[in-house]
Every structure is written in C-alpha cells, then in structure tokens.
Amino acid sequence: MKLASFKHFTRACLLAGGLIGAIVPSIVHAETDRMVIFDDDGFALAQWMVLKAPHVKVLGIATVSGDFWQKEATAYALRGLEIANRKDVPVVQGATYPLVNSEKLTDKWEALYGKLVWKGAWMRSWVEKTTQPLPPYHAADVVPDLPWGNPTLKPSAENAAMFMIRMVHQYPGQVSIIECGPMTNLALAQKLDPEFASLAKELVYMGGSLNPRQKLTSPASAQFAREFGNSPRREFNIRFDPEAASITMRAPWKRIVMVPVDPSTETEMSAEFVKDIAAADTPIARIVKRSANNFPLWDEIAAAVWLDPSLIRTSADLYVDVNTMFGAQYGDILSWSEGYQPDVGEQKEKVVLTIDVPRMKALIKDLISKP
C-alpha cells in the first residue's frame, strides 16, 4: 500500500476511534511493516529514527510527564512530526501526573533520603555545578516556546492509554511499544484492560539501571555518572513513577526488552558525533546538527535495538521488578537470576548490557539522512 493512501485511511480510522478499528481488518502487511507506538516524555532523535525507518508503521506517538510535563512533551512531539513531515501520525496525550509519586512527596523524600540528581519537570536547581542547562521550571499546563518553533499540528482527542488499548485490539500480537519515559500510560492501559499487554507484540523500554559504569572521559559523562554512582539501581524514568513501572513489568507481555542506563555510558551526543550523523541536509539533520547536548544516547539505543536487534552485543535474561516501598531505594530496579526470583509477578526481561556503537551510529546517520 502506498504511503499517501495509507495515511488517509489511517487518519479516517483514527478520527472514527475504536468503532471502525474494531471492524476493519488489518491493513498493514505484517511481512513488511512492523507496527509501533512510541511513548515518551519528550521527542528527539529516537522518534525520528523510527519514523524514518523503512517497513515501520508508527501507529502513534504517546506522551507522558517525566523530563517534561506531558503538555510540553506533546508540543515537542507535534513539532517533531512537522519537521519529519509526518503529520499523518497521531499524537495521543497521556498522563500528566504519576500514579502515586508527586512533586510534594519528592520534596519530603529528599529531606529523609537525600537529594536526587535529576527530577525532570520538578527540577528547580542542580545540587552540583553542571554543564547542562537547567530547564525552565514551570507548571504542568504551561508550554514554553520550543527551540524548534511551536507546532500548528494538534494532538488527537483520544487519551494515550485508550489509544494503545484500541491499537493492540485492532492489531493483536502485532504492535510493539517503545517506552522511553515513565510508564504511567502503560500501567493505566493495563489496569483499564487486563488483556492489554498480552495483545501487544512486545515492550521495549529505556529505563532502569543495573550496574552502570562511566566509560567515557568527557565532563558530561562524569556528570551523568552522578546519577548512578551512589545509586546504581536508580534511573529517572522508573523513579518518576515506580508503581507504574512495577505494574507494567508485571503485566502479561509476550516479550520485554529492557534498555537500562548500562549500555548508554559508551555513547554521547557530542559535537563530533552530531556533526558526523547529521552531515546530510535534511530537515531532521538540520535540527540534530544543533543538538550536541552531550547526553548519553538513552532513547536512541532503545529505538536502535528495536529496529535492529543484531545491534545488541551482550544481554542478560533476568527477572525484573521495581522497589515500590517509599524508602531510600524507592524506584530502584530489582533483578534476579533464574531460581532466586520471588514469583510475585516479576517476569523475565531481555536486559541489554552492551551494544555495537559504531553500527548504531551508522544506522542513525542513515535514517536521518533520508529525505
């Protein structure tokens, strides 16, 4: 099916919501088109990679609060789709607040258990001097002007959790979910519909941390190592909504791939890296060229190993869950090798430990060079 006609058909389905979805048979060729929903608390290179990948159908971009409030993440997603010239892809708005955690609770938690290095939308100051700029602190319903320009595209009227439920019912066993933010939407979807996870094809998520180590020598990599140096099991996406992460991990997925912090410490969105991958003169490359933030490539690794699982160099099959007790290690990743797990819902996940960085870089460069 040609892209143009597919686009129109898809938009019609989406506008009609679940009614048409329920009676229209799958129109995607499973042999060629892999279906995916990308859920995230922002929008950047990872989404563009998936949007530009051949034989991939992005069913929707879902948003959630985390690094940004959901409304701001939504604005980035809309603008990101405009830049990618993919206005056919719906942006579905997800949860504004985590299930149990909150900014107030986090203040009190920090008083008892120490300062967090990164708090996303709740961040008012760095504890230590940091080369990263402090994002503007604002209320949940404020959307500051975006550096990429503000979008004119509007989000879907459908809620992210409802959208994801509808999609897995419409394409049972075919929809991958790439989660690169807190798992609030996934937990809501699972509790709204206990069949949700079992109807998806797989969950690939960036989140959590096992035993990462600083591997680069740049000032930025030393500063990002602050996030795991004294808390090897803590990572922001999971820590922002620990209960949602535990609910999601205990849901009956066919397959879960975890991309923790561990493989990211070999990567950096450095000026040199950006210059190389964004050499082409495409709209996306023009933005990426200006985006040397020295971040590890967290979400990009998740997108990359979903697009090409052969990029995984080493991995471990571990039972994984999250500490949801409101103590010093609230939100920490718990993991067990076979035989040690408690069997209270935790499941085996394929945990990515290292990846083929040069080949991932080549993949990114190739994808964002596409017109």
Contact 102, 190 (CB under 8 A): no
| Number of CB atoms found within 10 A of residue 348's CB | 14
What mask, x for binding its own copies by CB under 8 A, covers residues 232 to 261? xx----------------------------
Q: Is 358 in the site for its own copies (CB under 8 A)?
A: no
**What is the token pair recorded at 65?**
């609060």
Answer positive or negative: Cα dihedral of 291, 205, 70, 138: negative
Q: Is 332 in the site for its own copies (CB under 8 A)?
A: yes
CB of 316 to its own copies, least distance (A): 9
Q: Is 112 in the site for its own copies (CB under 8 A)?
A: yes
| Number of CB atoms found within 10 A of residue 8's CB | 11
Q: What SS3 state is found at 141?
A: coil
- Nearer of residues 69 and 118 to its own copies, judged by Cβ: 118
Interface segment toward its own copies; rule CB under 8 A; list 151-159, 210-218, 235-243, 257-265: 210-218
Contact 275, 303 (CB under 8 A): no
CB of 139 to its own copies, least distance (A): 27
Q: Is 351 in the site for its own copies (CB under 8 A)?
A: no
CB of 327 to its own copies, least distance (A): 4
CB of 85 to its own copies, least distance (A): 44
Contact 56, 36 (CB under 8 A): yes
Q: List the interface residues with its own copies, window 38-97 (CB under 8 A).
A: none
User: What is the C-alpha separation between 209 and 261, in angstroms, rounded?
Assistant: 5
Q: Is 5 in the site for its own copies (CB under 8 A)?
A: no
Q: Is 335 in the site for its own copies (CB under 8 A)?
A: yes
- The residues, any chain, with a CB within 8 Å of residue 198's CB and separated by 6 or more, are 251, 252, 253, 254
- DSSP secondary structure, 52-86, as one string: HSTTEEEEEEEE-SSSS-HHHHHHHHHHHHHHTT-
| Amino acid identity for residue 297 in this structure | L
In this structure, the dihedral spanned by the alpha carbons of residues 137, 140, 146 and 147, taken in order and rounded to 10 degrees, is 30
Interface segment toward its own copies; rule CB under 8 A; list 172-180, 263-271, 282-290, 315-323: 315-323
CB of 102 to its own copies, least distance (A): 19
- Nearer of residues 145 and 343 to its own copies, judged by Cβ: 343
Q: What SS3 state is found at 20?
A: helix
Burial of 160 (0-12, 13-18, 19+ CB in 10 A): buried
Q: Which of 2, 125, 340, 371 touches its own copies (CB under 8 A)? A: 340
* CA–centroid distance for 328 within its chain: 25
- Nearer of residues 9 and 326 to its own copies, judged by Cβ: 326
Q: Is 214 in the site for its own copies (CB under 8 A)?
A: no
Q: List the interface residues with its own copies, window 120-149 (CB under 8 A).
A: 127-128
What phi-psi label fits residue 55: left (phi over 0), alpha (psi between -120 and 50 degrees) or beta?
A: left
Angle at 353 between CA 212 and CA 274, to 5 degrees: 80
- Nearer of residues 15 and 328 to its own copies, judged by Cβ: 328
Interface segment toward its own copies; rule CB under 8 A; list 26-34, 108-116, 157-165, 359-367: 108-116
CB of 276 to its own copies, least distance (A): 31
- Contact residues for its own copies, defined by CB under 8 A: 110-115, 117, 127-128, 210-211, 213, 226, 229-230, 232-233, 318, 321, 323, 325, 327-329, 332, 334-337, 339-342, 344
